[in-house]
Amino acid sequence: MTIKALLFDFDGTLLDTNELIIQTFMYVFDEKFPGQYTKDDCIPLIGPSLRQTFERLTPNDVEGMITKYRTHNESHYDELVKEYDGVVETLHELHAMGIRLVIVSSKTHDNIVRGLHKLGVAQLFEYVIGADDVTHVKPHPEPIEKALQYLQLSKEEVIMVGDNSHDIEGGQNAGVKTAGVSWTIRGVEFLQTYNPDYMLAKMSDIITIVREINEEN
């Protein structure tokens, strides 16, 4: 079976939003829990949806914390996000190869689209699935199953690419191949404990993987 589509996480995979996310969490926590959270404490919060995070940490003020987070995050977006080397070039090459590209992220739909425009690659993606497009976010299989349904492809024809455990587990729960990225802020060793099928040292490695699989079939 050949690979016909790639499902990409967004934050920390295609666009370096780590500093933005950490600084935003520090801002909302410093107001709510002065001096209790460090930057290192915020790193494990990268990946889950905001609702998952605040339902666990501030169950009595979930909506208020989400609103506060999003307001601060959006106002500092342009100054703090950065491109990863080779991502834009790789996406263009994959698109030229005829590989269909989809975003499957726990970020809200509009913020994903904003990020894709920031990278200048929005036109390369034919479908975007955000947290507000599904009932259950990764690692639940629903977002990936939704992508498969849209693409009308089998599980064997796609790879889920991401930087966090939720991406790998989500892919596994949906029965698709998975690829971790070595630039994950959680560290390669952490991601490898979830046994992705592939680990990308650089984004262009996914081109090699797709070509090798497709040449074998």
Q: What share of the chain is helix, strand, coil (3-state, %, to 5)?
A: 55, 15, 35
* Residue 133 is a catalytic residue: no
CA triple 17-22-24, angle to 5 deg? 95
- Examine residue 196 and say whether the peptide bond preceding it is cis (omega within 30 degrees of 0): no
Question: What is the DSSP-derived secondary structure letter of residue 84?
Answer: P
- Alpha-carbon dihedral of residues 78, 113, 4, 131, nearest 10 degrees? 110
Q: How many CA atoms lie within 13 A of 76 on its CB side?
A: 17
- Provide the greatest CA pair distance for the chain: 57
Q: For residue 169, what are its two tokens?
A: 């587990």
CA nearest to 116, candidates 99, 102, 133, 100: 102
Active site residues: 9
